[in-house]
Amino acid sequence: MRYAVIGTGGIGGYYGGKLARSDRDVHFLLHTDYDYVRCNGLQVDSCDGSFHLDNVNAYTSTADMPAVDVVIVGLKTTNNHLLPSLLRPLLDKADDGRKPVVLLIQNGIGVEADVQRMLPDARLMAGLAFICSAKRGPGHIDHQCYGHINLGNYSVGSDDDAKVVADDMQAAGITARMVDYEEARWRKAVWNMPFNGMTVALGAQTDQLLKHPATRALIRRQMLEVIHAANACGVTAITEEFADQMIRNTDEMTPYSPSMKLDYDFHRPMEIEYLYSRPLAMAREAGAPMVSLEMLEAELRFLQEKYLFV
């Protein structure tokens, strides 16, 4: 299996790096640190064992990449308008005419539907990563904890084709499993919707939010809102116990600033649309509005406009 990685940051750099380390044929699209990685390789500092890739297949354009079987997209959804131009060369150069699987390791709900509208012939799979990982500098990935990933088949076709990706990841030391697509997206939202926005709104890391009784209770209430919304939308396999499990898991994590907090700190656009607006609209339509998370979305939009447009 040959892989392309679009977005060599905390997500693409980690998962692509693990695959390359296990002797998979991996090709990385790079931007600002292309020259650095070409000369110095890719360093992954990991709680599970650090490693360095000396010779990285690095590119500045997907048009220069070879035909691949799987494209891993690790871009933020705020950059998804770039996907038609980035993915089209890879979709059109398949060796046997069979389009590669496009694995979108991205946050939020509604992502695949929009990408499918932009690229009707793409074979899409969702990647829901439970991981604390960030890019710390040129060619430098810092993986702090966790790392397992759930994979949901959106439009790949045969589940066998999707399972090959999971098997490759497992062989590379990544805990990966196939799950129901809708369930996977909502399960990730149970953690993402409270913690991403609350770390921004209160200027705190995950551990601080859980150490204070008031914010710990609020986080749990927000998680239950997401679970009730998922149930109302037909995803019945997620129960209230999952909220307590997520809180216990976060208690065990190192203090962490989620991706939205980092975007806010560096005055970058935040992923409000897919992390909040889309699932909130779906919940209202299903008769299960997420009231406290609607308030959080309004706060996030205010904060973003304050630093982006003032």
Structure tokens at 109: 């709900």
Note whether 150 and 103 are within 8 A (CB).
no
Q: What are phi and psi of 10, to 5 degrees?
A: -60, -30
Q: In the chain, which ranges are continuous DSSP H helix?
A: 12-21, 34-40, 83-92, 111-118, 159-171, 181-201, 206-211, 213-232, 241-252, 259-265, 272, 278-285, 291-308
Q: 């699987």: which residue's tokens?
A: 101
> What domains are there in the chain, each with its CATH number?
2-179 (3.40.50.720), 183-308 (1.10.1040.10)
Task: Compute the distance between CA of residue 119 and CA of residue 125 in angstroms, rounded to an integer.
Answer: 13
Whether 43 contacts 141, CB under 8 Å: yes
The strand pairing partners of 135, in sequence order, are 141
Q: Exactly one of 76, 188, 261, 306 is catalytic; which is it? A: 188
188 included as an active-site residue: yes
Please name which of 57, 40, 51 lies closest in space to residue 14, comparing C-alpha atoms: 51
> pTM of the prediction?
0.94
The Cα–Cα gap between 18 and 40 comes to 17
The span from the CA of 124 to the CA of 212, in Å, is 40
Written as tens digits, the pLDDT of the chain (310 aa) is 999 999 999 999 999 999 999 999 999 999 999 999 999 999 999 999 999 999 999 999 999 999 999 999 999 999 999 999 999 999 998 767 789 999 999 999 999 999 999 999 999 999 999 999 999 999 999 999 999 999 999 999 988 888 999 999 999 999 999 999 999 999 999 999 999 999 999 999 999 999 999 999 999 999 999 999 999 999 999 999 999 999 999 999 999 999 999 999 999 999 999 999 999 999 999 999 999 999 999 999 999 998 876 5
What contacts 205, CB < 8 A, 6 or more positions away? 199, 255, 256, 257, 261
